[in-house]
Amino acid sequence: MKKIINNRKYDTDTATLVGEWSSNYPINDFHYEEESLYVKRNGEYFLFGEGGAMSKYAENMGDNSWSGGSEIIPLSYESAREWAETHLDADDYEAAFGEVSEDGDDMMLSVRVSANAKAMLDRLSARLGKSKGEVVSKAIVHLYASVETDEVERLVASM
């Protein structure tokens, strides 16, 4: 499905499928619902949902008549993460949003980087056998330890 929302294109054929969920109703039941979480190449998330005539995706056909329907819903990173936490198993969640520590010490961070920086991070992660989060955390700690605080501020200001 392809849809333009607020002058932004959402296309299930070109986005990457993150995960899927369906209700416990049979597919031909009026209450049936199915949702798929996607991420676009630019990092934006959206949900494609469809369902029967008594689902939240139902469409009013007039004269108190309802039909099954479908919808694309843009999601913030946080909303996508919450949807995944509710609807995906732990392995699929971590594959999409990164490893979650058991002690709760780690923090989730979402940043935009250049395509080149992401490619380097992917290669480093694969070569070292570490998660992307571990690579970034160690790089930040190393950078911070290698220069004085005022040097870090000058470095950041020059970027």
The distance from CA 83 to its chain's CA centroid, rounded to whole angstroms, is 9
Alpha carbon distance 128, 66 (integer Å): 55
In order of 10, 42, 84, 101, 129, the CA distances from 107 in angstroms are 29, 22, 17, 9, 21
pLDDT digits (tens, 9 = 90+) for 30-47: 999 999 999 998 889 999
Amino acid identity, position 61:
M
Say which residues have a Cβ less than 8 Å from residue 120's Cβ, sequence separation at least 6.
Answer: none
pLDDT digits (tens, 9 = 90+) for 58-78: 999 999 899 999 999 999 988
Amino acid identity, position 132:
K
pLDDT digits (tens, 9 = 90+) for 101-126: 777 677 777 788 888 888 888 888 87
